[in-house]
Each structure stands twice: as C-alpha cells, then as structure tokens.
Homo-oligomer: A and B are copies of this chain.
Amino acid sequence: MSLHPFDEAVALQPTDQPGRWRGHTHAEWANMVGPFGGMTAAVLLRAVELQPERIGEPVALTVNFAAPVADGPFDIVAQAVRTNRTNQHWLIELWQDGAVKTNATAVFGIRRGTWSDTEQAMPIVPKPEDVAESGLPDTIVWARNYEMRYIKGGVPGLAARPEPSSVTTLWARDRGGRTLDFPSVTAMSDIFYPRVFLRQGAMSPAGTISLTTYFHADAQNLAAVGGDYILASARANRFSRGYFDQSAELWSATGDLLVTTHQMVYFKA
C-alpha cells in the first residue's frame, strides 16, 4: 500500500539523538523554489507530535522562514522549553548543511470543557459544487494536491488589472481525500498566494517570512471534517515598505472555525 503524498512528505525518521528527526523534501510538494512553506510548517509540527514527552494538542504555532530550504534531506530538532501542568512550549528548528533554515515555536495544550463561542461570522458563499474548479499556475507544483474552487480573488491572469480588495475566498480539499489532522490543517494555513498579486493584478517576487497559526479545533473536530472541503478566506491589512500582513480563517463546511492564521510577507514590487 502506498502512502498518501502528504503522509510521505511529513514522514520523519528517528536519529540517534533524542529530539532529532530526519526528513526529506517531497517532489509533489515543491514550490517555485524549494518546498511549499505550508508543508515545512506541517513537518515542524509533526516533529513535536512524535516526541514521546509531548502533552496535549497544538494551540499555537509560529514558523519563521529564515532561509530557503533546499530540495533534499533535512533534520528537525524539537525541544520542550517548558512543560506546565496543562501546556507545553516547544522550540523547533529545521537544519540543512549545518545551518538553521526554518525556526519555530509551538504551544501545545490539554483542552477542557469551557464556555465556547464563535464570534467571527462564516462568509456566506455558494456550495462547492456550484463553484468552478480552478487553481494556481502549473509551476506551483504543491497546489496540484488540492482541489481549489475560488469564490472570490482567484490568482490574477495575464490580462488582470489591480483589484481594490485583497480578499481571497475559496473552497479547498485534499485531492486524495486524506482525513484532516493537525499537520494538514497547518499546511492549509498557507494555501493562499501572496495578497500583493491580487492588489497589483500581477505576480511578482514575494514570500512568507513568519507564519502564525492558532488552532481552535481539536483532533476529534478535525477528524470529523474527514476529506471534505474547507472554506479558506484571507485578506491583507497593510502593505508597507516591502512587507505586508495577511489574516485568514479556515472553516469546516459545517461552520466550525478550525484555525485562524496570520503571516507577514516580504514583497518586492
């Protein structure tokens, strides 16, 4: 039985050092240069999940893309900085050729019953079957793993003009029907192309420099989504002197706000 390409990409082998794992970039998750940042984030989170002393489930993850990850093998070092009664703080680094390429912090926590409420409203959108399938340009290899149906703010084509809004909203699901889990929802936090493309009506050099994801769903909520569509919606707040921010939400089709996610992005244009 062959693994799903996502499971192949997040697969990590133990090394002879505790907390040090070995992985390899995956051709089907390539970006224009190096791997898809969402996949790098996913494999960093996966390393913590594999640690025997890990408690609870992901609550917050921040990934800093310090240097390009080269295609090939990498090591991930995960270290519990602090273990409290109900939460745990992690420092995670991706190493290649003796240098840190990506560093991250994560908070894991043991969830418990409290008063709960979702205050953010889910966008009112047509059903996935009523939205045409499109996607990202073929040069973005990783995007082929997702079935994408853009409701608003699809990637600008050659004849595109600048748009007044940076909002993109799409239905997306794993093309292989893989059941959602923490690594895969982490990867989907980075499913959006750079907001500056939409505002300028053209593609230009841009890349995420820091990505933060807050997890509102627990493992059971994610498993309940199965391989169904996720509604993903993103917007920028400000573009200023080479950097812009993006805030986004990922919803289940049944209206659960699974994660909120934010990033700071470098851009050149």
Residues of A that sit less than 8 Å from B by CB: 59-60, 62, 64, 66-67, 81-82, 84, 86-87, 89, 91, 93, 99-100, 103-105, 107, 109, 111-120, 165-166, 196, 199-200, 209-210, 212, 214, 216-218, 235-243, 245, 247, 249, 257, 260, 262, 264, 266-269
Contact A103 B117, CB 8 Å, known A59-B243, A242-B111? no
Residues of B within 8 A of A267 (CB): 114
Residues of B within 8 A of A105 (CB): 62, 64, 103-105, 210
Decide: B107 and A209 in contact? CB cutoff 8 A: yes
Decide: B239 and A260 in contact? CB cutoff 8 A: no
Decide: B238 and A117 in contact? CB cutoff 8 A: yes
Count of this chain's copies in the oligomeric assembly:
2
CA distance A112 to B240 in the complex (A): 9
Residues of B within 8 A of A117 (CB): 199, 238-239
What would 8 A/B residue contacts be, using CB atoms closer than 8 Å? A89-B100, A109-B243, A109-B266, A115-B269, A117-B199, A118-B239, A119-B237, A214-B264
A107 to chain B, nearest CB (A): 5
A-B contacts besides A116-B240, A119-B238, 7 pairs, CB < 8 Å: A60-B209, A89-B103, A109-B243, A111-B240, A117-B199, A216-B245, A218-B241
Decide: A238 and B118 in contact? CB cutoff 8 A: yes
